[in-house]
Structure 1
Amino acid sequence: MPLTTKPLHPTFASQVDVQIGDAVQNPALIEDLKAFWRTSPLMIFRRQALTEEELVAFSALFGECETVSRRDILSPYNDKVIYFSTLRYADGRNVGGFAGGEDADWHSDQTFRPNPSTGALLQAVEVPRDGGDIYWSDQYGAYDLLPDDVKALIDGKTGRYSYAKRLGIMNASELKDKKDELAKMPDVFHPVVLTHPVTGRKALYADPTTLVEVQGLSEEENARVLPILFAAGADPSLVYRHKVMPGDVMMWDNGCTMHRRDSMRLDQPRLMKRTTFRLPGAAYCVPH
């Protein structure tokens, strides 16, 4: 049976009418989803009821699922699932991480790591009534928007990405006691433009919360070019805004998208479960 899909944005986002629990047991359907994901790097699956084991099993069909080292945001049942939540345990501890209601700036996950896990899957269990909408932006389109002279300057160039910069922009409350230590994490280096090995399309990889400079450009050139890259990455024409509903599962490729979140009220329950997985470089635009 062909996939039933509905475009949510003209270039990169789609609703996919598949029950993930069934797809885990259907290799042919998984291959169809992989092929479709190359053309629609944001897929939304509605009305899903999944165990954490099914969430991990589905993620692992696309890439190596990451084992999470941060115990404070980890699921108590599975070491490959983390929680984002406004809830608290009986002893007062936050259930998961990023419990503050402040908005999150445009970013791509794990750009501060040497080998980012670029695949991500987010399951909505509880969602706030007000706020908390999530936005994604098409970074293939962002590269296409760049002026030709800027493309010529950055093609083939490497960027320097700093976790210290992200800490200054996205200061999550649960990291406040670790900020000095985390700020000392060494910078990493990735291509500023990623090329999909199958489709040949180029995606901008310019996370404004971590990218400090494009190597090989002068200080003056960086001062001119970086704002252009960041503006292209968040251009309104490339953005899909999603009002999250309970049961939604959102799956995206961090190599060719960025995302952000609206602020939300802390007196309304929110619980999201996320996996991250390392996509194979032979099939996806992965920063090396």
Structure 2
Amino acid sequence: MTVLAQELKFRPLHSDFVIEIDERIEDILANPDAIEQVRRLWQDAPVIVFPRQSLEEADQVRFTEQFGHCESANRKDIQSPYHDEIIYFSTLRYADGRFVGGFAGGDDVDWHSDQTFRVKPATGAMLYGLEVPKGGGDIYWADQYGAWERLPADVRALIDGRTGTYRYAKRMAIMNTLELKDKESEQAKEMAKLPDAFHPVVLTHPLTGRKALYADPTTLVAIEGLSEAENARVLPLLFEAGGSAELVYRHKVRNGDLMMWDNGCTMHRRDEMQLNQPRLMKRTTFRLAADAYCVPH
């Protein structure tokens, strides 16, 4: 087993927002001090890339659990048959013709933050690229600390401390061709019944005090206390700030990349994929502690 250096090797990929840690996950797992270093680094860099990994599913789950409670997947149709905490995104098919995972469509995916439509979102996420297409499918992350700072002062004053209404029906209308191809399926019908979720549109990191915009354009439909006219004016400004080009890191995913991010202070999207190329990605989601991360209450 490799013995890690006293300090983890990392380099910035986009200011202090995205970093790459060039260490093997199995070695980090064997070293409690290394785990603690990753936790500290993640406070300032909410996106971390671990390149060239060779991970068993059990190791991905175990690594995930170092940072929060690892959820069991609610999408049973795309769940790993070996570990129910993992879901697959894939263009591959089982022998009976079913896709191995979800999100197999070639369309691009709009800016979003995972699980904003849930009453209690799990804001931590890890995505492992086991088989990555050579063309398309690049992943982008946008810094929502920076998005908050880019907003005009009057808009910040208007929305700070207010609650937003987040609705899955909006997301379903935008992204249904990717998530739930058959609107009449039982899965689609159940998702369509989800009640609205209510979250602050600005989150404050409990340790650093930094504020992050939490305005998912695929689910946020209104801000409490604003008039219809104010919502119509303000929401497009929030969505535009959230995806500002200066705040975006574009990652060309390669086989073996493990990507870890905090949905409380980032948004992400991906490019269109080539469906004639093999793809298999494995994702875990996990609940972060409200006393250490930007967690919507």
| Fold shared per TM-score above 0.5 | yes
1:198-248 Cα offsets, whole Å, 9 max, x none, are: 000000000000000010111111001000000000000000000000000
Specify the SS of the correspondent of 1:131.
Answer: coil
- Greater shift, 15-24 or 140-149, is seen at 15-24
Counterpart of 1:14? 19
| Conserved? CA contact 1:105–1:261, under 8 Å | yes
Q: Give the letter aligned to residue 119 of structure 1.
A: G
- Greater shift, 154-163 or 19-28, is seen at 19-28
Q: List gaps (5 residues or longer) in structure 1.
A: none
Counterpart of 2:286? 277
Counterpart of 1:222? 231
1:100-126 Cα offsets, whole Å, 9 max, x none, are: 111110000000001111000000000
Counterpart of 2:250? 241
Aligned mates of 1:108, 1:65 — CA distance in 2: 18
Residue 165 of structure 1 pairs with residue 170 of structure 2? yes
Aligned mates of 2:238, 2:78 — CA distance in 1: 32
Instruction: Find 2:30's aligned residue among 12, 25, 29.
Output: 25
Instruction: Find 1:110's aligned residue among 93, 115, 126.
Output: 115
Instruction: Find 1:83's aligned residue among 82, 88, 91.
Output: 88
Residue 73 of structure 1 pairs with residue 78 of structure 2? yes
| Conserved? CA contact 1:196–1:283, under 8 Å | yes
Q: CA deviation at 1:184?
A: 2.2
1:238-287 Cα offsets, whole Å, 9 max, x none, are: 00000000000000000000000100111100000000000001100100
Give the alignment of 1:86-235 within 5 angstroms.
Answer: 86-173=91-178, 175=180, 176=182, 177=185, 178-235=187-244
| Conserved? CA contact 2:107–2:178, under 8 Å | no
Counterpart of 2:3? none
Counterpart of 1:56? 61
- Greater shift, 1-10 or 134-143, is seen at 1-10
Q: List gaps (5 residues or longer) in structure 2.
A: 1-5
CA change 1:191–1:174 in 2 (3 A) is closer
Aligned residues: percent identity?
65
| Conserved? CA contact 1:11–1:138, under 8 Å | no
- TM-score norm. by structure 1 comes to 0.98
Q: Give the letter aligned to residue 27 of structure 1.
A: P
1:162-210 Cα offsets, whole Å, 9 max, x none, are: 0000001111456222434422211010000000000000000000000
Q: Give the letter aligned to residue 210 of structure 2.
A: R
- TM-score norm. by structure 2 comes to 0.95
Q: Give the letter aligned to residue 70 of structure 2.
A: C
Q: CA deviation at 1:69?
A: 2.6
Specify the SS of the correspondent of 1:55.
Answer: helix
State how many pairs are aligned: 288
Aligned mates of 1:70, 1:192 — CA distance in 2: 27
Superposition RMSD in Å: 0.9
- Greater shift, 170-179 or 247-256, is seen at 170-179
